[in-house]
Structure 1
Amino acid sequence: MPGSRDLDPSSSPRALLGAELRHAREKAGLSQEELGQRLFVSGSFIGQLEAGTRRLQAEYARLLDEELGTGDFFSRNRGAAAKSKYPEHFAEAAEAEARATAIREFASMLIPGLLQTPAYARAVCRAYQPTAPDEEIEKRVATRMERTHILDDPTKPLLWAVIDESALRRVTGGPHVMAEALRHIIDLARRSRTIVQVLPFDAGAHPAMQGCVKLMDFTDAPPLAYLEGVGTGRLDDDPATVAEYRFYYEFLAASALSPKKSLALLEAMTQDYDHEEHA
């Protein structure tokens, strides 16, 4: 049985809980697939719990305690690992994003969160919550900007974004905010920190017109797909489903402008927003 002490929230509780799960599983002589069968989940789901890329929900914590004979250890300690600064529907995806080695994202209606500027994020948060106090908006903006720090590393994770032209044409926060937002994307692309492609209007219909798709790869866990809508989100680890969305992403990338032509379009749009602002 894992140690009797509660996990320390200041010491990466998700990672500690995952390590304890792996220890308890191996002590019970079970593979990830075998334990998954007992919980009616996939072996990859158990692997993601052990790697810390998935949150341990209450029902699974209870079942783990029963199957592994760990008393109430996982039920008692899951609370420390479940705390998050993000909305419930996005918390698990945000935490997985921070551990990913590669992120591929298609954005249909707005600039992806990892590429946003504070002013653009502020306009988006205000649109989501038009009656919220300024303090709440600033708190959400700070949380969103904190996510972007994963790009401080010059090489990882790989970030490849395909952005629908509609997201770049929608004037969010005004021409000045849009010009600044596009300059930020251009800077990241010029520094080879991210790959950016624009899916133009003339590409026509495509398989992801109803929402965004985010694919995440990890060194120590199976890949994940995240689908997001208005106030909702779903993280999927089913290999067939992830493969299907990966095909969608590859189709979108093939239909989009090349990185070089995308950069030229972004620069032209930035000039247009500058002229509009001055006018």
Structure 2
Amino acid sequence: MEYDDEQAPLTPVAQFGIDVRELRTTRGMTVRGLGKAVGCSGAYVSRVENAKATPSEKFAVGCDRVFGTGTMLARQLQRALEGDDPTWFEPYINKERKAAKILSFSTLFVPGLFQTPEYARAVYRAGAPRLAASDLESRLKARMRRQEVLKREKPPELWVVLSEACLRTRVGSREVMAAQLDRLLQEAEAPNINFQLIPFDVVPASAAAFTVLIFDGAPTALHVEGPQGGRPLEAAQVVTNALAIFDRLRAEALGHDASVARIREIRKEYSL
């Protein structure tokens, strides 16, 4: 029985298997064909893809060679086994770079695309208090590089719905929050970005944060995050349901101008 990526949040090793399967099928290879090219059996490839076997370093290196992915899979496997980095997020970032439109709903934190370095550092520190300083800075640099998508000649259209908790949850110091809200106000002036705020007195249509990526000429994808990793979902009905929920969230939220005005009001509170 194949691993069902809609049943539960994925572990990093399970995500590795899904990524290998996606790369293999995109190139029109069978499990037996990949096994022969890498130096293992087709049955082993199937077990890895379905999270029934922990992949070896030799397998990851071989896949990188066959797929022409440099050292991506080898590095992904190393981080997955060491628990050093949320490797489940890497496939999402690759897709995010290609999206024509990004629909994002956040319940607690400011979305990563808009986080200041100080805010992101405080988020990482809270989530992994024992993380070595060098590893934390490595993650921080990766997050800041991710924001380069906003500086493209033709950036994606972003529609961001935020729970008021994203502005009220004090991440770091008051100064960190003030700078973060300044960043939101600055980004709100961009013609391709729409912010909408759901105030505390409104019960949102979803309790879970999620993002929908819409591509030109490719299937729309849904990404839902959890404590054990991300869940990339592309089943048509699941994505359709997510789009319907996002429409309800937009209807429940304040409009862009009213949301910006509310962000300004809350920003003043961090200066008191």
TM-score by length of structure 1 reads 0.72
Q: Deviations along 1:180-237, whole A, 9 cap, x unmatched?
A: 1111111111132411111111112x3321x211000111311100000124210011
Q: Once structures 1 and 2 are overlaid, which stretch shifts more, 184-193 or 159-168?
A: 184-193
**Runs (5+) with no aligned partner, structure 2:** 5-17, 39-61, 80-84
- For 1:95, the equivalent position in structure 2 comes to 94
- For 1:65, the equivalent position in structure 2 comes to 29
> Relative to 1, partners in 2 of residues 1:57 and 1:151: Cα closer, same or farther, differing over 3 Å?
same
What is the Cα deviation at residue 72 of structure 1?
Answer: 2.5
In structure 1, how many angstroms separate the alpha carbons of the residues matched to 2:130 and 2:32?
Answer: 48
> Relative to 1, partners in 2 of residues 1:179 and 1:57: Cα closer, same or farther, differing over 3 Å?
same
What is the Cα deviation at residue 40 of structure 1?
Answer: 11
Q: Deviations along 1:72-103, whole A, 9 cap, x unmatched?
A: 28955246364559622211111110111110
**Runs (5+) with no aligned partner, structure 1:** 1-38, 42-54
In structure 2, how many angstroms separate the alpha carbons of the residues matched to 1:202 and 1:125?
Answer: 29
TM-score by length of structure 2 reads 0.74
Does the 8 Å CA contact 2:161/2:195 hold for their aligned counterparts? yes
Q: 1:77 aligns with which of 66, 70, 77?
A: 66
- For 1:260, the equivalent position in structure 2 comes to 257
Q: Which amino acid aligns with 1:207?
A: A
- RMSD (Å), alpha carbons: 2.9
Q: Which amino acid aligns with 2:170?
A: V
Q: 2:241 aligns with which of 244, 257, 261?
A: 244
Q: Which amino acid aligns with 1:220?
A: G
Q: Deviations along 1:9-54, whole A, 9 cap, x unmatched?
A: xxxxxxxxxxxxxxxxxxxxxxxxxxxxxx999xxxxxxxxxxxxx
> Relative to 1, partners in 2 of residues 1:131 and 1:67: Cα closer, same or farther, differing over 3 Å?
closer
Q: Deviations along 1:221-254, whole A, 9 cap, x unmatched?
A: 1110000012421001111110000111111011
Structure 1 position 157 matched with structure 2 position 156: yes
Does the 8 Å CA contact 1:108/1:163 hold for their aligned counterparts? yes
Q: Deviations along 1:92-121, whole A, 9 cap, x unmatched?
A: 111110111110000001000001110100
Q: Deviations along 1:144-200, whole A, 9 cap, x unmatched?
A: 111001001264211111011011100101111111111111111113241111111
In structure 1, how many angstroms separate the alpha carbons of the residues matched to 2:154 and 2:199?
Answer: 28
- For 1:108, the equivalent position in structure 2 comes to 107
Q: 2:222 aligns with which of 221, 225, 230?
A: 225
In structure 2, how many angstroms separate the alpha carbons of the residues matched to 1:60 and 1:179?
Answer: 43
Matched residues, percent identical? 27
